[in-house]
Structure 1
Amino acid sequence: TLAAMRATLELADLTEDESNTAYQSLIELLTGADPQVRFDIANSIWYRDIWTFSSDFLQRCRDYFEAVVQGLDFSDPGAADVINAWVKENTQGKIEEIVDKPINPLTAMFLINALYFKGTWTYEFDPEDTEEDEFTRLDGSKVPCRMMSQEADLLYLATDQFQAVDLPYGNGLFSMTILLPRSDVHINDLITGLTPESWESWISELDTHAVQLELPKIKLAYGLKMNDVLKALGIGVAFDGGQANFSRMLVEGAEYPGNLFIDKVKHKTFVQMDEEGTEAAAVTMVEMAFTSIGPSSLIMRVDRPFVFVIRERTSGALLFMGKIVEPVWEETS
């Protein structure tokens, strides 16, 4: 189980302490990189308090990941409320819940990661330049949108497959990279070609140009159960109640109702992009259970599906990545 997860995460060449220390350093770098950009990372572990778990495992999560660790009575209907309140607080209210009621009687633990990002564009869009426009969907139909517009000196790249532009936040350490496929290139084909190697190559080729940019305003929320995605990436064994081995999370000699495995992985994302900047939040929940009781101005008009990536430039860390196929602006209460 460990070998499969390390291979999928491309951590096979690092020891556990090295990978934990690297993550710890990355947290410190990202959360303090730019005083003009807010980026928060929060981790938590919530376990069913009738069972005991390895103190070494829990302490490592505290030490390296600054995780909140708390036991709860999962049979109490209020347990889900406690966890969801933590999620809401650590996403600034953008994601209100990740744990459903009632909690499965076999659920042993929730491991939750929350991200919150808020950055102001280095070059803000003027709201007076925002106009009603149209966005072309994948099927060719058109939907109305609010299109922002500006001309600025930006990092830009044009190939026969796509246009790319890099929009900096704050003092420039964080940025959003927009990848707009050419009109004859399907966005999924562009994504298929988006590998770590191609990404590094494209980023290295960005160069400063005067760019006339048109970009739709967006506000949307998205959720996904990630079991099938993670199995396809190579860690299916972790989801197999008969084969998963998470014994190092347990106390040797203690009694448990069955074998511990990953039952469910859920991910929720919120993204808002407007004239001022970008606000984004994400929560990932791993639910673990026992088996049973058991040159001139360049024009870039983003009026069709595109890819966006929010990144930190010095470390190369990718914070958020998404595919926008419709410029939804969802009103929230």
Structure 2
Amino acid sequence: MMRITLLLHFGLLLSFCQAQTGGDEAAEEEHVELFTTPTAKMGAATSDFGYNLFRALASRDASTNVFLSPLSVSAALTQLSMGTSESAERQLHRALRYHTLQDPQLHNTLKDLLASVRTAGKGLSAAARIYLAKRLRLKQDFFSLVEQQYGVRPKQLMGGARDMKDINDWVSQETGGKVQRLLAKPLPRNSGVNTVSAAYFKGKWATRFSQSGALENFQVDGGMPVRVPMMQQDNYPVKMGADSDLSCTIAQIQMQDDVSMFIFLPDDVSANTTLLEESLTAEFVQDLSMTLLPAQVSLTLPVLSFSYSTDVMPLLGELGLSDWLNNQELEKISPQPARLGSINHKVVMETVPEGNQYASTASPPSHLAYRVDRPFLFLIRDETSGALLFIGRVVNPKDLRI
């Protein structure tokens, strides 16, 4: 019924090109041409890494909620790449999608991008750091290089339970106390090198919601509906379209300070989202931002409030790093053999009904509804740079906890 309403409202069905994420060199050249400034190219590269990482994590179990802040993972792995041999660095940079940039000032560009997305109004705080085992003899040049470039110094661990407390305290401090207990257990004993990354996002809408917190049904695949808090507002300004190939409707909702949320809502509660997940690229989302059509809708969204933790390390093989895992060549970190043991990542996100402006009351309530009451995908994007800040799959919001 929603699809029919959309077709009648817009008078056409938007068709989107689905960019592939494989090794097609011609496609990659076109990708570079689409983003013309160094910052935009870096935003696209970190986003494509994020989409690849999300696909690898989401494919583990299609029935679970999944969330990531890929830019913070990129920052941690980029710091790590500064301690590798040239050949190992090339492998890491390819997985991070940096080989598409042709940017001799890569680290400066990433540093500028990280600074731009952390401005106060965007609601994002993030942390990324390398931790090194006490047993390693370390090269101080690596410490100085990373600190000079990214403003955070890698830290040698002392050993024992206090390391976990030290890491958790640092992450909490960097995220304003919002990301707590990044580590729930000590780091692996046999690892020499570990990275941690974390992000907190509190999204504020450009247009506020008049109703929030009412419990409503959210459809769950294969089960009874669950009751979750919802936000609702009539005549809410969005950009919207439908993709017949992906069998979903798409809404772009403006947030404060040039940030927006894209929501991909499958037509059916039981829809397989694999094709949709495989279609996500920086180019695809950039096309969406230019082709979705303005509309005023009766908008209903779940109130999102969650934390999510994972170790990204097991996913590296799916990102093309199987050979690198066998020969990491962390020679600029230590003269001793050293190996990466874990890539711990945690995200916390909240949305609130507040906003800067009120929805229009000059016209009657819209007959077009966008009701997010079944499993969906969403992403948070910085519109200035195009960088992917958050991405998630919500299967059952009842399971979300901070």
- How much has 1:15 moved relative to structure 2? 6.4
Q: What SS does the aligned partner of 1:36 have?
A: helix
Change (3 A) 1:157 1:15: closer
The answer for the alignment partner of 1:165 in structure 2 is: 251
Q: Is the 8 A contact 1:219 1:329 kept in 2?
A: no
The answer to whether residue 320 in structure 2 is matched with residue 234 in structure 1 is yes
Please give the alpha-carbon distance, in whole angstroms, between the structure 2 residues aligned to 1:94 and 1:5. 30
Q: Secondary structure at the match of 1:116?
A: strand
Query: Are the aligned partners of 1:47 and 1:109 in contact in 2 as well (CA < 8 Å)?
Result: yes
Whether the 8 Å CA contact 2:210–2:353 is kept in 1: the answer is yes
Alignment equivalent of 1:311, drawn from 381, 384, 390:
381
Are residues 45 and 326 of structure 1, via their aligned partners in 2, closer, same or farther at CA, if it must alter by over 3 Å? same
Q: In the alignment, which residue of structure 2 is the partner of 1:201? A: 287
Matched, 1:40 2:125: yes
Report what 1:223 is aligned to. Answer: 309
CA contact (8 A) 2:95 2:319 kept: yes
Unaligned runs of 5+ in 1: 278-295
Contact map agreement 2:203 2:352 (CA 8 A) in 1: no
- Kindly state the Cα deviation for residue 186 of structure 1 after the two structures are TM-superposed: 2.5
Q: Which has the higher strand share?
A: 1
Question: Matched residues in 2 for 1:298 and 1:57: separation?
Answer: 57
Q: How many residues align?
A: 301
Task: Tell me the distance in 1 between the aligned counterparts of 2:169 and 2:104.
Answer: 32
How far is the alpha carbon of 1:180 from its aligned partner? 0.8
Residue identity opposite 1:320 in structure 2: F
Which residue does the alignment assign to 2:79? Answer: none
Q: 2:368 — aligned with what?
A: 298
Say whether 1:275 aligns with 2:353.
yes
Residue 132 of structure 1 is aligned with which of 204, 212, 215? 215
Q: Deviation per CA, 1:37-65, whole angstroms, max 9, x where unpaired?
A: 33223333332345332333222211222
What's the offset of the Cα at 1:210? 0.8
Measured in 2, the distance between the counterparts of 1:86 and 1:224 equals: 18
Distance 2:386 2:99 in 1: 20
Partner of 2:85: none
* Structure 2 partner of 1:87: 171
The answer to whether the 8 Å contact 1:42/1:67 transfers is no
| Alignment partners' CA distance in 1, 2:386 and 2:187 | 38
The within-5 A match list for 1:1-333 is: 1-14=88-101, 17-32=104-119, 35-74=120-159, 76-99=160-183, 101-127=185-211, 130-139=213-222, 141-151=224-234, 152-160=236-244, 161-171=247-257, 173-183=258-268, 185-240=271-326, 243-250=327-334, 254=335, 256=336, 259-276=337-354, 297-328=367-398, 330=400
SS at match of 1:97: coil
Match of 1:281 in 2: none
Q: What letter matches 1:139 in structure 2? A: G
Higher relative contact order (CA 8 A, sep 6+): 2
Aligned-residue sequence identity (percent) comes to: 25
The whole-number CA distance in structure 2 between the counterparts of 1:9 and 1:263 is 19
Q: Which runs of 5+ in 2 are unaligned?
A: 1-87, 356-365
Task: Return 267-276 or 313-322, whichever deviates more.
Answer: 267-276
- Cα separation, partners in 2 of 1:221 and 1:15, compared to 1, 3 Å: same
- Quote the offset at 1:140 in angstroms: 5.2
Check 1:249–1:15 CA distance in 2 against 1; reply closer, same or farther (3 A cut): farther
SS in 1 for 2:105: helix
Q: In structure 2, the residue corresponding to 1:107 is in which secondary structure?
A: coil
Distance 1:142 1:300, change over 3 A: same
**1:150–1:212: 8 Å Cα contact kept in structure 2?**
yes
d(CA) in 2 for partners of 1:43 and 1:83? 11
What is the rounded CA distance, in whole Å, between the counterparts of 1:185 and 1:101 in structure 2? 36
Please state which structure has a larger fraction of its residues in helix.
2
Shift of 1:105: 3.8
- 3-state SS of 2:398 partner: coil
- Verify the 8 A CA contact 1:43 1:113 in the aligned structure 2: yes
CA contact (8 A) 2:143 2:154 kept: yes
Evaluate the alpha carbon distance shift between residue 68 and residue 117 of structure 1 in structure 2; reply closer, same or farther with a 3 A threshold. Answer: farther
Q: Is the 8 A contact 2:242 2:248 kept in 1?
A: yes
Give the SS at the match of 1:122.
Answer: strand
Task: Return the TM-score normalized by structure 2.
Answer: 0.68
Q: State the distance in 2 between where 1:105 and 1:248 align.
A: 22
Q: 1:212 to 1:58 in 2, by over 3 A?
A: same
**Cα distance change on mapping 1:215 and 1:25 into 2, 3 Å:** same
Conserved? CA contact 1:176–1:308, under 8 Å:
yes
Deviations 1:6-28 (A, max 9, x none): 21111124568522111011012
SS at match of 1:86: helix
